[in-house]
Amino acid sequence: MTALAASFSEMALLLLAAGAAGFASARSLHPAGRAHRPERIGWGVCLGLAFLSGSALLASLGGPHPRVCFAVLAVAGMVAGRIFAPREPGATVPPAGRPRAAHALLWIAAAAGVLLYAVRALIRPMWSIDFLAIWGLKGRTIFAAGAIPTWLSDPRLAGFSHPEYPLGLPLLFAGASGVIGKWDDHALAVLFPAFQIATLAVLFGWLRRRGAGPGVTLTATALLALFEPLYSGFLTGMADVPLSLGMLLLGAALSDAMDGTDSRALARLSVASLLASSVKNEGLFLAAAAAGVAILGSRGGGDRIRRLKVVAAAIFPAASLTVLVRAVRGAAPLRDFDFGLFAPSRLGELLARAAEAISADAHVAARSWIFPVSIAVLVIAGQKAPWAGRLLWLAAAALAVYLALPAFAVLGPEWLAETTLFRTAAALAPLAAAGIAGRLSGDGRRETGDERIKSDAGVKGAAPA
Amino acid sequence: MALFAPGADETAYYLSVYEFAPLPVRLNPPAVSSGWLAAVYGTGTGRPAGWSVLRDLPGGVLMEGPPAVSGDPSR
């Protein structure tokens, strides 16, 4: 076996161990049964990777070796999964109906998407500039130093690596490397196909559980798997792929919590809020947007206490993490942006910048027109489905911010739009896929007859959205 | 690690920062703190006075400066 094959094998084994521990831990987040199983697999991957990140964090704070920390976290998670496993029976899955050749083809397409991304991600060590300058640099530094050196927060020494970014992904790199015992930026790329598989599992499982038919669910899953703008070699090593998973978890859990689908929806929302905000600053914004959707989407009906719980579950974990990190590491400014443009004396400059940003955004959108046009057509073709529409609102809120931010870019609107707009918007694909597929399914009856989710006795019924 | 490399672009800088981690790296800094090392590249640059060569590197030298050196040694 070559050294590279041995490194890949070690990383794959570590991922299997982390995923298994995460799957057992995710018992506390999902009722038992087939309906929740695909999502539990996705959540299991996330929790397992979170244990790896946590192991690096604990070790950097003076704890024992990351291997010991990982074992402790994994065992603690599994014990918690057993103790807090919900007693309620899970929802039933709508019957898939007769097997169709088209479904088999869609499964093959989804598998091909996973295989193609694995090739793109693993063909060479992670290489993008942002990996070298930000995510990989921090991960390698934390791993090699066995600590989080203060110079990583020093703008003179590491300003280019954005000290204001959360450390979730670098800690994951450091944790996985710490457990294995070496830094291998080629083998670490295996983490990214794992993120993709988790995303597809959550997308598929959530759509089926919420009543979408197998055809539309599999189509959404296959199209997302084949979506190269997100699952590219360039983005491998950067935070966009894990953030896209975090945003999907957040959106799905938000919708479940608003509808009261099961007793663990609020817990999933809280954990998703924490995970998303630990990866990128947008995670905090998405958590706030989720709280906004919960408030606006419940107007005129619903249980007020439950609405408050949903809002708190969405925003509190992300906000708490942000405050805690700022208290410990200090507040680092968003160095790419000049929000002083909001000053009344600079109103004219702001308007000129806004016009420049609109032009730059339009230029990027025109170059990749097929995506916005397709999304607009599919959204219009769907029907009203609040459970799915909430995810589209979240994606729209994030997109609005991505479109507006170039106006505040220190290096100019064109620079930010050209360098980041397409890839950051691509990370919204899982949210968009779930929302659009849900709208195309409507209430889930159209494709497979009356197959709406039937909650078993003891499960709270769906509340008006 | 202070890196004196005339003409080095951002990409080269980021790659060197990544490769040297967990040591912090500055590219062509105007001043170097005590305890730092300097990798000096390029044939057209004079070696800073008072610095000692630790070893030759391909295309340059690895140098150790006296404590609290200031100024750009590549000049």
The ipTM (two decimal places) reads 0.84
pLDDT at position B46 is: 57
Q: Is B4 within 8 Å of B59 (Cβ atoms)?
A: no
Consecutive H or E run containing B39: strand B37-41
Q: Is A394 within 8 Å of A293 (Cβ atoms)?
A: yes
pLDDT digits (tens, 9 = 90+) for A195-231: 999 999 999 999 999 999 999 999 999 999 999 999 9
> Once rounded to an integer, what is the mean pLDDT over residues A96-108?
85
Dihedral of alpha carbons A178, A182, A185, A187, sign: negative
Q: Is A178 within 8 Å of A67 (Cβ atoms)?
A: yes
pLDDT digits (tens, 9 = 90+) for A356-371: 999 999 999 999 899 9
Q: Which of A37, A66, A94 lies closest to A453 in space, CA to CA?
A: A94
Token pair of A362, please? 């339009």
- Amino acid at position A275, single letter: L
pLDDT at position A301 is: 61
A183 has a pLDDT exceeding 80 = yes
Q: How confident is the model at residue A457 (pLDDT cuts 50, 70, 90)?
A: very low
A446 has a pLDDT exceeding 50 = no
Closest partner residue to A137 among B10, B11, B18, by Cβ?
A: B18
pLDDT at position A332 is: 76
- B24 in contact with A, Cβ within 8 Å: yes
pLDDT at position A408 is: 93
pLDDT at position A299 is: 63
Distance from C-alpha of B42 to C-alpha of B55, rounded to nearest angstrom: 15
pLDDT at position A18 is: 97
Q: How far is A378 from chain B (nearest CA, A)?
A: 40
- B26 in contact with A, Cβ within 8 Å: yes
Q: Which of B34, B1, B6 lies closest to B19 in space, CA to CA?
A: B1
| CB–CB contact B22 A129 (8 Å) | no
Could you tell me the pTM of the whole model? Answer: 0.91
Q: Which of A401, A7, A430, A374 lies closest to A186 in space, CA to CA?
A: A7
pLDDT digits (tens, 9 = 90+) for A310-353: 999 999 999 999 999 988 887 777 778 888 888 888 888 899 99
Q: Is A37 within 8 Å of A212 (Cβ atoms)?
A: no
pLDDT at position A141 is: 97
Whether omega before B30 lies within 30 degrees of 0, making that bond cis, reads no
| C-alpha angle A5-A10-A12 in degrees, rounded to nearest 5 | 90
Q: Which chain A residues are closer than 8 Å to B35 by Cβ?
A: none
Q: How far is B27 from chain A (nearest CA, A)?
A: 10
pLDDT at position A302 is: 63
| CB–CB contact A140 B22 (8 Å) | yes
Q: How confident is the model at residue A9 (pLDDT cuts 50, 70, 90)?
A: very high
pLDDT at position B73 is: 41
pLDDT digits (tens, 9 = 90+) for B14-72: 999 999 999 999 888 877 777 888 888 876 555 666 788 899 888 888 988 776 544 44
Largest interatomic CA distance in chain A: 66
Dihedral of alpha carbons A294, A298, A302, A303, sign: positive
Q: How far is A132 from chain B (nearest CA, A)?
A: 6
Phi, psi at residue A140, to the nearest 5°? Answer: -65, -40
- B21 in contact with A, Cβ within 8 Å: yes
Q: Which chain A residues are closer than 8 Å to B22 by Cβ?
A: 140-142, 144-145, 149
pLDDT at position A455 is: 38
Distance from C-alpha of A262 to C-alpha of A251, rounded to nearest angstrom: 15
A462 has a pLDDT exceeding 50 = no
Q: Is B65 within 8 Å of B32 (Cβ atoms)?
A: yes
Q: Which chain B residues are closer than 8 Å to A161 by Cβ?
A: 17
